[in-house]
């Protein structure tokens, strides 16, 4: 098969988004629209990808640097044919060129693959719409062969009645494309260079024109405004939810879960309503994520139970842990198996050993906590002196009494006990009770102050 070149058109201003951000950088499922298209294009292993962006849209190449795509600016914007023309100097004649759109984000590999298999010649992706208004119509002869595409504004009434429309996505032999684009004129209702005019040229030269239809209608839906963006977001989330359920995941309400990235689930995973998964998240067998939890770039091992309103960010959680409600694991947290992290506990850049517990109201930062440690309510690691950060080390089997401050750098020895209400500034010996607390005393007969007379 001839090598594949991909052109992604993304020069449109996106006026109806009413945004300073280029349209194609608005996010769907947490990822810029055009990045969905790029990711899909990459699955076809093309020789190269060229993106046509618009004047003022420098943010587009900036945001997509790492993809190795080539960028060409189209200014002024004189139509889809003119847009494709801008990329032609970069393309190889012996290739086939696939034309995609930065604002049609959900095109799927299977559909594009089908186009590649449809035969030599020109391959158009078309759909049948009950309301074809606004789209270019696919005009066929009585044998059913495609003759041309006529744009809405140039169509005569019987053409307007055609329900098969052009999605814009097409696959074209590159040498032919170059030749045809050179012959385009803008003598039409919109005064634009229509890419679609190449279809009639192909027919005239006896080049075969094939059509393929997408597996799902939503694959070819474009985004022009925030309403369409939100609508397509829901369509996609529903699709993701369906895929998860098909794999055996229990979603308490498939309409109330959001996956903005990749969510990989083991068996018997349960997800309650309002949860958001961002980046790459892996949930092991039997994990339960309760309502309104937000999990980003994290691995949660089997059997762990996450209570409501828990936030987990760039963390690794072992098996059979209990987290939340209202717990916050910040980047760099690692919980070993059977750890418990309870309400209003914040952990950052710390390791919590097997079976250790911090169940209430704590801040644990830059710490290494051993196994079977109990961290009492209100314990704070004071890891920051205003300029530098220091580590706290709590060895196995230590017991930290409630309302303790551990001023780092400090080490609590193995099996040590710290009395409640202590401020610990020096290392504490293993196996001993250490506390820093003024003696309780009672002042006999003491009276509360009373307000003085004016």
Query: Do 175 and 72 touch, CB atoms closer than 8 A?
Result: no
Nearest distance from residue 2's CB to ligand UD1, in Å?
Answer: 24
- Contact residue for ligand UD1 among 22, 32, 46, 168 (CB under 6 A): 168
Measured CA to CA, the distance from residue 50 to residue 61 in angstroms comes to: 11
Please state the closest distance from residue 30 (CB atom) to ligand UD1, in A: 21
Scanning residues 178 to 197, which ones bind ligand UD1 (CB under 6 A)? 194-196
CB of 360 closer than 8 Å to CB of 375: no
Q: How far apart are CA 365 and CA 360, in angstroms?
A: 15
Angle between helical axes of 80-87 and 174-182 (0-180°, round to 10): 130
**Cα–Cα distance list, 214 to 211, 228, 317 (Å):** 10, 19, 40
CA–CA dist 18, 177 (Å, integer): 34
Interface residue with ligand UD1 among 77, 114, 302, 343 (CB under 6 A) is 77
339: alpha, beta or left? (left if phi > 0; alpha if psi -120 to 50): beta
Per-residue interface string for the shown chain with ligand UD1, residues 309-328, x marking contact by CB under 6 A:
--------------------
**Residue 191 or 445 with smaller CB distance to ligand UD1:** 191
How far is it, in rounded angstroms, from Cα 228 to Cα 448? 67
Q: Are the beta carbons of 422 and 436 closer than 8 angstroms? A: yes
Which of 67, 72, 29, 19 lies closest to 50 in space, CA to CA? 72
Residue 151 or 272: the one with the smaller Cβ distance to ligand UD1 is 151
Whether the bond between 409 and the residue before it is cis, its omega within 30 degrees of 0, is yes
Q: Which is nearer to ligand UD1, 105 or 303 (CB)?
A: 105
Q: Residues binding ligand UD1: what is the number (CB under 6 A)?
A: 27
Angle formed by the axes of helices 33-42 and 109-117, to 10°?
Answer: 50
Prior bond to 325 cis, omega within 30?
A: yes
Distance CA 38, CA 102 (A): 8
Q: Least CB distance from residue 113 to ligand UD1, whole Å?
A: 21
Nearest Cα to Cα of residue 369 among 343, 333, 342? 333
Select the residue interacting with ligand UD1 from 165, 202, 259, 339 (CB under 6 A).
Answer: 165
Q: Which of 5, 74, 290, 362 binds ligand UD1 (CB under 6 A)?
A: 74
| Window 195 to 214, contacts with ligand UD1 (CB under 6 A) | 195-196
Which CB, 224 or 417, lies closer to ligand UD1?
A: 224
Residue 322 annotated as catalytic: no
Tell me: does residue 277 bind ligand UD1 (CB under 6 A): no
Q: Is 52 in the site for ligand UD1 (CB under 6 A)?
A: yes
What is the radius of gyration, based on Cα positions, of the chain?
Answer: 31
CB of 196 to ligand UD1, least distance (A): 4
Residue closer to ligand UD1, measured from CB, 103 or 320: 103
Complex with ligand UD1: residue 74 or 111, whichever CB lies closer? 74
Taking the least distance from each CB to ligand UD1, the nearer of 60 and 300 is 60
Instruction: With contacts defined by CB under 6 A, name the span among 8-16, 250-258, 420-428, 439-447 that binds ligand UD1.
Output: 8-16
| Token pair recorded at residue 150 | 């006529």
Q: Would you count residue 413 as binding ligand UD1 (CB under 6 A)? A: no
Chain residues in the site for ligand UD1 (CB under 6 A) = 9-12, 52, 74, 77-80, 82-83, 101-103, 135-136, 149, 151, 165-168, 194-196, 222
Report, as residue numbers or ranges, the catalytic residues. 360
């Amino acid at each position: 098969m001839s090598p594949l070149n991909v052109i992604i058109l993304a020069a449109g201003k996106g006026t109806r988004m009413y945004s300073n951000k280029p349209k194609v950088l608005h996010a769907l499922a947490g990822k810029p629209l055009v990045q969905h298209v790029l990711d899909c294009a990459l699955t076809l292993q093309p020789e190269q990808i060229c993106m046509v962006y618009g004047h003022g849209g420098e943010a587009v190449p900036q945001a997509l640097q790492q993809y190795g795509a080539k960028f060409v600016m189209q200014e002024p914007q004189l139509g889809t044919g003119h847009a494709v023309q801008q990329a032609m100097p970069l393309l190889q004649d012996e290739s086939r060129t696939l034309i995609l759109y930065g604002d049609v984000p959900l095109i799927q590999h299977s559909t594009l693959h089908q186009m590649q298999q449809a035969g030599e010649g020109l391959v158009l992706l078309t759909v049948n719409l009950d309301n074809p208004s606004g789209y270019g119509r696919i005009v066929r002869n009585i044998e059913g062969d495609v003759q041309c595409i006529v744009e809405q504004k140039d169509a005569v009434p019987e053409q307007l009645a055609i329900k098969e429309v052009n999605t814009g996505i097409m696959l074209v032999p590159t040498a032919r494309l170059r030749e045809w684009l050179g012959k385009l004129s803008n003598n039409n209702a919109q005064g634009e260079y229509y890419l679609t005019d190449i279809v009639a040229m192909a027919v005239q030269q006896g080049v075969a024109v094939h059509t393929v239809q997408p597996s799902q209608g939503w694959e070819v839906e474009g985004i022009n405004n925030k309403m369409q963006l939100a609508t397509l977001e829901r369509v996609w989330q529903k699709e993701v939810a369906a895929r998860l359920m098909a794999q055996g995941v229990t979603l308490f309400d498939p309409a109330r879960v959001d996956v903005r990235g990749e969510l990989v689930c083991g068996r018997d995973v349960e997800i309650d309503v309002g949860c958001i998964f961002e980046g790459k998240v892996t949930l092991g067998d039997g994990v339960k994520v309760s309502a309104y939890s937000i999990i980003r770039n994290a691995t949660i091992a089997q059997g762990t139970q996450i209570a409501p309103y828990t936030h987990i960010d760039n963390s690794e959680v072992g098996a059979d842990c209990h987290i939340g409600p209202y717990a916050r694991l910040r980047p760099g947290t690692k919980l070993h198996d059977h750890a418990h992290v309870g309400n209003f506990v914040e952990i950052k850049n710390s390791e919590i050993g097997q079976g250790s517990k911090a169940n209430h109201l704590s801040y644990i930062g830059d710490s290494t906590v051993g196994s079977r440690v109990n961290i009492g309510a209100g314990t704070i690691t004071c890891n920051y002196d205003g300029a530098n950060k220091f580590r706290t080390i709590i060895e196995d089997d230590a017991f930290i009494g409630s309302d303790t401050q551990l001023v780092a750098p400090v080490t609590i020895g193995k099996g040590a006990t710290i009395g409640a209400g202590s401020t610990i500034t020096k290392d504490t010996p293993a196996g001993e009770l250490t506390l820093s607390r003024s003696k309780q005393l009672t002042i006999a007969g003491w009276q509360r102050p009373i307000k003085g007379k004016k």
